């Protein structure tokens, strides 16, 4: 029996109420995901499952590991010809991170169906990896199905930052960018801020909707709070009934919470006016932590500021902070040279 998914969205105004794929088991799983994940994760999971079942064309209970490997082959197939590859990883198909995310979404679905016990799924058909055990060796880690390259994120230089800030047209827009650039907030965290989350006297922000449901209180530069004051005093509609900090300033949605698409549009316009090739919200966040690390901020403090669950996620800024790395190398090199000079001793 074949199954062809149809992704349907149910909306009320700007609020997304439901996402369905036209199959009761998949729709139940999407409802489960919605209750425990952010809207972007929910939407990405729905799309990933749509892609998978469009390729496989089977009922969930009929999917096998062979189908999963066939899906991987299809995803790796060249999209724009065999000779067109990405500079980052040399691949012609979809990016490894995209394939890995889709595989994770599919694995999550089948883990859910197996746990239910009433879906005809007794085991997860998505392998966790390939066995790499050899005679005489104790290697149980296995080989991952997808190897994702570790690519250093791009950051803005000071001149680009100045150009971007100068291209922003309102206090609100500058405050949102500064929250990411000076405080390291994620886009969803900026848009999730409420008026009650401001701790102006302490120059801090309470992040109630952090990634993974983790809350934190972060200090932010006084420059941000000065810009924010201009927005609250001169721009934010007095008639707004929303408790969200950043709202729409004009048009039919005036006074309503600003959306992620709205923030992306603001940033894209400023990028064009500033003559910059590429600027994203996450790039602003990376720039913030790179500069803080270069200024000597301890890695543990950087982890707390960023809201990382693991310090391994924070270590990437050691590689981005070029001045720190250069200073550490020169210090070590001088010590090595000094030891070599002592070992040589006076010439006879």
Residues involved in catalysis: 186, 211, 282, 285, 308, 317
Of 249, 82, 271, 242, give the one whose Cα is nearest residue 166.
271
Where do the DSSP E strands lie in 129-255?
Answer: 198-199, 204-207, 216-219
The rounded Cα 286 to chain-centroid distance in angstroms is: 11
Q: Are 282 and 153 in contact (CB under 8 A)?
A: yes
Residues 6+ positions from 48 with CB-CB distance below 8 Å? 101, 102, 105, 106
Alpha-carbon gap, residue 345 to 347, rounded angstroms = 6
Q: What letter would DSSP give residue 199?
A: E
Q: Distances from the Cα of 183 to the Cαs of 190, 303, 306, in angstroms?
A: 10, 12, 8
Cα atoms in the 13 Å half-sphere on the side-chain side of 15: 4
> Which tokens go with 264?
């992306």
What are the φ/ψ torsions at residue 9 (nearest 5 degrees)?
-115, 135
> Which tokens go with 47?
């799309």
- Computed on alpha carbons and rounded to an integer, the radius of gyration of the chain in Å comes to 25
Q: Which residues pair with 199 in a beta bridge?
A: 204
Q: Are 3 and 9 in contact (CB under 8 A)?
A: no
């Amino acid at each position: 029996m074949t199954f062809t998914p149809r992704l349907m969205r149910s909306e009320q105004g700007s609020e997304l109420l439901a996402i369905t794929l036209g199959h009761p088991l998949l729709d139940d799983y999407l409802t489960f995901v919605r209750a425990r994940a952010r809207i972007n994760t929910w939407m990405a999971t729905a799309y990933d499952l749509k892609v998978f079942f469009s390729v496989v064309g089977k009922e969930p209970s009929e999917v096998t590991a062979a189908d999963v490997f066939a899906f991987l082959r299809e995803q790796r197939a060249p999209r724009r010809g065999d000779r067109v590859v990405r500079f980052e990883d040399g691949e012609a198909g979809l990016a490894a991170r995209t394939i890995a995310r889709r595989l994770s979404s599919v694995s999550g679905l089948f883990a859910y169906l197996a746990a239910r016990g009433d879906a005809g799924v007794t085991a997860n058909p998505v392998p966790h990896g390939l066995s790499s055990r050899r005679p005489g060796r104790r290697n149980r880690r296995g080989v991952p199905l997808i190897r994702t390259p570790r690519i250093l994120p791009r950051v803005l230089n000071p001149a680009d930052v100045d150009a971007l800030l100068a291209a922003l047209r309102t206090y609100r827009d500058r405050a949102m960018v500064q929250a990411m650039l000076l405080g390291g907030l994620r886009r969803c965290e900026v848009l999730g801020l409420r008026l009650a989350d401001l701790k102006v006297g302490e120059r801090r922000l309470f992040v109630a909707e952090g990634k993974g449901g983790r809350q934190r209180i972060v200090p932010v530069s006084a420059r941000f709070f000065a810009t924010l004051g201009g927005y609250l005093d001169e721009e934010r509609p007095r008639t707004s009934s929303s408790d969200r900090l950043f709202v729409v300033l004009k048009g039919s949605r005036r006074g309503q919470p600003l959306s992620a698409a709205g923030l992306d549009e603001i940033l894209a316009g400023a990028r064009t006016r500033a003559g910059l090739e590429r600027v994203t919200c996450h790039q602003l966040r990376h720039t913030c932590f790179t500069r803080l690390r270069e200024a000597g901020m301890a890695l543990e403090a950087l982890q707390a500021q960023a809201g990382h669950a693991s310090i391994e996620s924070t270590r990437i800024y050691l590689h981005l902070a070029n001045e720190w790395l250069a200073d550490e190398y020169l210090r070590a090199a001088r010590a090595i040279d000094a030891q070599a000079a002592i070992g040589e001793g006076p010439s006879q």
